[in-house]
């Protein structure tokens, strides 16, 4: 009897498996899809398969069946293909390892699935399901390293020794953090010891691979355990040194919140969105450089400015896309803007500026601001939440009157030039800035009033002369 949760996957794979059967090859579901089937988790993404067929043999087997085939990964043993709405990645059984100074693996193909599974990262991913094209054949579980038992026990182990695994691919040390956090697994002592011993090997891994793996960690539902793993094993010292730097020495006289613990707590409170989570991770990176002790205790003046610059530098080093760098650094720069808010202190103009400066990131900025409160003082936390509620209510009221995110001057540059009879240049920009300031302070002026203000501004600027 085939388990019900397997049926949809088998229905997708069996027509493909039949092509391999006919060519005399074996094909297996492998890796994450098998792990998630064992756990009963919903499946998403491509269907990963491994086979004893070499890439050219795979290409021949799927010719005439697949709607599209791509072979960019053939030198690493992988052939991609699409059938209908389903995408498959079929990889020849393989072994791969990094040389001491290489950023890319040397790949060799293996003839049996057990050898392939032995080179996988963790036992919970070193499982395969043999699939045939026959509808009445139950899939065969291949689990030579006890992955099912480790999932049940909540243990993170490597199929071979961790020294071999992390030498093969040092990125696995970082990947361990995601499995610790995402699946609630506890690393075995030998794995921990090997990470601490070989952590320097991460320096040979490309920034792009580190970026991608760090991003996957940040968007698991609860990343806390994984982030502490990075710090405690020394991985963060290699890939994100700003993180352990926030573990500031506590002054027994001028006490302040542990910045690192606060940071990880903020990340955990935010929604699992990469931009918000990364901004939360970096929002206080400027504190170590701005820490000072004065009559009123410890302060971190302008840490948001310093932090935004540091965040930009780190994100560029990790090869994040420019649009993500801009969004994350903007959130770091603005994360203190809300502090000091009250209905009495902030005018409508201040609210408009807050919304305009946040732009398309308003929701993310509000999320980060709310989650930045990690105080254990229930009264203080309640007060901060009520203030943010009040600000969002005011934003909603003002947005009902005008579209705050797209606030522009009441006149455009062409209207300014036509009315004043001037050519493009600095004067036009200064006139628009004056009109924008008036719009922020007072709300929409209307064209007639905007022209009157423009005339008054121009007369003051030119010593009383009227527009031409």
Per residue in 14-38, pLDDT (tens digit) is 999 999 999 999 999 998 999 999 9
CA distance 399 to 351: 11
- Cβ-count burial 175-192 (b if 16+ within 10 Å, e if not): bbbbbbbbbebebbeebb
For the cut 70, the answer to whether the pLDDT of residue 162 exceeds it is: yes
Question: For the chain, what percent of residues have pLDDT higher than 90?
Answer: 55
Please provide the distance, in angstroms rounded to a whole number, between the alpha carbons at the two ends of the chain: 89
206: Cβ–Cβ under 8 A, 6 or more apart, which residues? 103
pLDDT of 346 over the 90 cut: no
Residue 76 pLDDT more than 50? Answer: yes
DSSP notation for 264-327: HHHHHHS-S-HHHHHHHHHTTTTHHHH-EEETTEEE-TTHHHHHHHHHHHHHHHTT--HHHHHH
Q: In 3-state terms, what secondary structure has residue 194?
A: helix
**Residue 234, pLDDT score:** 97
H or E element at residue 213: helix 207-218
How is residue 213 written in tokens? Answer: 């793996």
Spatial contact of 134 and 27, defined as CB atoms under 8 Å apart = no
**What pLDDT, on the 0 to 100 scale, is given for residue 154?**
97
Q: Where are the beta strands (DSSP E) in 53-169?
A: 68-70, 78-83, 86-92, 94-97, 106-109, 128-131, 140-142, 155-156
3-state secondary structure of 130: strand
> What is the chain's mean pLDDT, rounded?
88
Question: Is 446's pLDDT higher than 90?
Answer: no
Using alpha carbons, select from 95, 81, 100 the residue that is nearest to residue 126.
Answer: 95
Closest CA to 167 of 132, 135, 204, 222: 204
Of residues 182 and 352, which shows the higher confidence score?
A: 182
216 vs 249, more confident: 216
Pair of tokens at residue 372: 């930045």
Tokens coding 212: 């991608």
Instruction: Tell me the pTM.
Output: 0.81
Higher pLDDT, 25 or 134: 25
Nearest to 142 by CA among 34, 14, 47: 34
Counting Cβ atoms within 10 Å, is residue 368 exposed (0-12), middle (13-18) or buried (19+)? buried
Q: At 373, is the secondary structure helix, strand, or coil? A: coil
Q: How far apart are CA 99 and CA 230, in angstroms?
A: 24
- The strand pair at 86-92 and 47-51 is best described as parallel
């Amino acid at each position: 009897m085939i388990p019900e949760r397997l049926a949809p996957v088998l229905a997708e794979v069996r027509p493909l498996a039949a092509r391999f059967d006919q060519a005399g090859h074996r094909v297996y579901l492998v890796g994450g899809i098998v792990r998630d089937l064992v756990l009963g988790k919903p499946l998403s993404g491509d269907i990963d398969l491994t086979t004893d067929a070499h890439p050219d043999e795979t290409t021949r087997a799927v010719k005439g069946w697949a709607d599209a085939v791509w072979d960019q990964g053939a030198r690493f043993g992988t052939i991609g293909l699409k059938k209908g709405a389903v995408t498959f990645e079929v990889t020849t059984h393989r072994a791969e390892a990094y040389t001491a100074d290489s950023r890319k693996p040397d790949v060799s193909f293996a003839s049996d699935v057990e050898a392939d599974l032995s080179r996988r990262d963790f036992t919970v991913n070193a499982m395969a399901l043999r699939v045939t094209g026959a509808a009445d054949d139950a899939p065969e579980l291949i689990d030579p390293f006890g992955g099912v038992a480790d999932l049940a026990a909540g243990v993170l182990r490597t199929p071979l020794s961790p020294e071999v695994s992390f030498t093969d691919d040092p990125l696995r040390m970082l990947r361990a953090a995601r499995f610790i956090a995402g699946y609630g697994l506890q690393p075995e002592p030998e794995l921990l010891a090997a990470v601490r011993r070989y952590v320097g090997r991460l320096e040979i891994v490309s920034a792009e691979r580190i970026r991608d793996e760090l991003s996957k960690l940040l968007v698991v539902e609860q990343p806390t355990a994984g982030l502490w793993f990075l710090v405690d094993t020394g991985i963060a010292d290699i890939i994100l040194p700003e993180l352990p730097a926030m573990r500031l020495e506590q002054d027994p006289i001028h006490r302040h919140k542990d910045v690192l613990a606060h940071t990880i707590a903020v990340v955990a409170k935010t929604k699992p969105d990469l931009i918000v989570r990364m901004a939360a991770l970096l929002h206080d990176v400027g504190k170590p450089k701005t820490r000072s002790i004065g009559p009123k205790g410890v302060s971190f003046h302008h840490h948001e400015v310093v932090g935004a610059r540091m965040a930009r530098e780190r994100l560029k080093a990790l090869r994040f896309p420019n649009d993500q760098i801009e969004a994350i650094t903007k959130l770091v720069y603005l994360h203190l803007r809300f502090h000091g808010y009250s209905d009495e202190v902030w005018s409508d103009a201040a609210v408009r500026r807050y919304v305009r400066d946040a732009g398309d990131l308003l929701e993310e900025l509000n999320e980060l601001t709310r989650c930045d409160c990690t105080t254990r003082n229930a009264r203080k936390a309640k007060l901060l939440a009520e203030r943010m509620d009040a600000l969002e209510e005011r934003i909603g009221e003002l947005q009902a009157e005008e579209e705050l995110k797209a606030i522009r001057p009441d006149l455009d540059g062409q209207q300014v030039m036509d009315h004043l009879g001037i050519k493009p240049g600095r004067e036009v920009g200064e006139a628009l800035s004056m009109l924008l300031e008036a719009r922020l302070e007072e709300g929409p002026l209307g064209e007639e009033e905007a022209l009157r203000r423009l005339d008054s501004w121009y007369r003051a600027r030119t010593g009383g002369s009227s527009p031409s």
